[in-house]
Structure 1
């Protein structure tokens, strides 16, 4: 069901001003004064109107995103939630109400459970903004349907896990721009002060011309959930979603996309090609994930990025980015580690701190502020580009082939989303990629 854009209630006040001028037929001075009053009144109404939120995906990331929005924004209210399980809906609402009682008003009739629960949220004309935080495989399709329903959107990363989903994201981005509806994505580093400062320094020539870069997202492991009695194949894959590539995209897409996005930002574009390798040593039986991936990306201008991600218990962790230039080196640490620049002699010439917690909240403030200002942010394409960069690296590693940006954007037919998904349905036996055997499609 397609609903009018929620931004239509905040139509350009100049239309009303023009008709009033013709109606009253006053002097130019009086008309100008009236126009000013109408514009001020409309702007104030837009800034103060309560915006009603819905959450789709009530897991840990969903509850975190909701708390960030409720904490940083005023005059907003949670009015609806959806998840695969009703117990998750109930817990998310109770959790939010404990911290933000005056910003939560979700009746039982607006808690929805099941695979299609999100549709009930999108059909609700009272919902202005929807937070989409389900497992990533659903993201492109949920975002597109939300935009078609006229909703403003916060969409967690990654935006897609395959080239088919990427094309859906581009469609959603274009439609949102036409609709005047916002899409802000969960790439918080783009709103973290030390990242913003580092990119500004690089753009201003602080390290000279970029030659190469290194980024690492190496950690100790990730959760795995055992199958519970009575679960169908589909329910178990959704329950243990991280370990199925159609749902998570593997670590490189689901987690390390943060660092890839930062490097695309630094480089000013997506890379031209990827060549990679990796494997699995410690994953549980039944997991499709690899536990290490290394990719060499080539950006325009023959600038090289050495990328690595890893989730192996007992291994050394490293998370951050280093950008090498002709005149210096920029270190951009992940989380809240800050950034610094050293010149060619090793002298520190610039540094800046940053808080990831503040960045998590800032993305939600920017979303709501842009809606109220009548200038909705639409940033899905940049995050989709970064997500597809991760997918391109995964495809290169999985197949053992060099993969180009032109191929993944124009030729690849890879579409991982099941065509016959049902809650009680059967799913194929899980399998992991083997370079040389896994084909590039």
Structure 2
């Protein structure tokens, strides 16, 4: 979706043309208030309850990294024109008390093939600093862009102030969801090849790699993640609404 946002397309093109020099570090942020949770009403099955609260259970949303931060990770990889080769990270529950699996904070350090880093971090707690977007640092400047930033901007140096701004989008408003469909429908009408499956799979795998690193506390390589036989929802194709979900609450 983010890759169909015309202001972002133009910003990334500027970066690829060298506007901020060689990209040396990427930061992906999603910092905001608590994620909601709806208690299970009487008569609802545990499976129905978990599906209803899909953002809170790993087997349904694959964690916050994929459910909420996936587009920002993809934008950073787009800027780098590369996918990570490894990741290490951490996360936990500092204030969240709901009976679910959701970390309320996490941080992942990805390494690209050239050794540069992508740092992804998120937090959903009240009363804390908030920001939703990507910050890119190059050898000559920096950029603020990505999902959550409707007006991507490029800067000379690494202080993102108005006097240091060297580029921002000047075109008409853009609705990326509409553009995404326009491109697809045009390809269908004109019988042109159109396939984003591989890129989407790589972006999803980037999020999965980060989740594995954050939950294990270990450095995980791309090859290790790809070779994993972990199933978050074994036998999903046979579930009915009366089935037990892959994770069940304990006595507490």
* Contact 2:133/2:149 (8 A) holds in 1: no
TM-score by length of 2: 0.89
1:376-402 deviation line (CA, Å, top 9, x unaligned) = 421022112111111111110111100
Secondary structure of the 2:175 match is: helix
Give the gaps of 5 or more residues in structure 1: 1-187, 432-441
- In 2, Cα distance between the equivalents of 1:349 and 1:270? 28
- In 1, Cα distance between the equivalents of 2:42 and 2:171? 45
TM-score by length of 1: 0.52
Q: Residue 412 of structure 1 aligns with which residue? A: 228
Deviates more, 1:318-327 or 1:278-287: 278-287
- In 1, Cα distance between the equivalents of 2:53 and 2:61? 10
Q: Residue 352 of structure 1 aligns with which residue? A: 169
Question: Greater helix percent: which structure?
Answer: 1
Q: Residue 248 of structure 2 aligns with which residue? A: 429
* Contact 1:192/1:355 (8 A) holds in 2: no
Secondary structure of the 1:371 match is: helix
Secondary structure of the 2:134 match is: strand
Q: Residue 34 of structure 1 aligns with which residue? A: none
1:167-224 deviation line (CA, Å, top 9, x unaligned) = xxxxxxxxxxxxxxxxxxxxx2111122101110111111111111112111112221
- In 1, Cα distance between the equivalents of 2:102 and 2:120? 18
State the structure with more CA Rg. Answer: 1
- In 1, Cα distance between the equivalents of 2:234 and 2:49? 15
- In 2, Cα distance between the equivalents of 1:356 and 1:250? 32
Q: Residue 382 of structure 1 aligns with which residue? A: 199
Aligned residues: 243
- In 2, Cα distance between the equivalents of 1:246 and 1:232? 16
Match of 1:250 among 63, 78, 81: 63
Q: Residue 4 of structure 1 aligns with which residue? A: none
Give the gaps of 5 or more residues in structure 2: none
Higher relative contact order (CA 8 A, sep 6+): 2
CA offset at residue 292 of structure 1? 0.9
- In 1, Cα distance between the equivalents of 2:11 and 2:55? 32
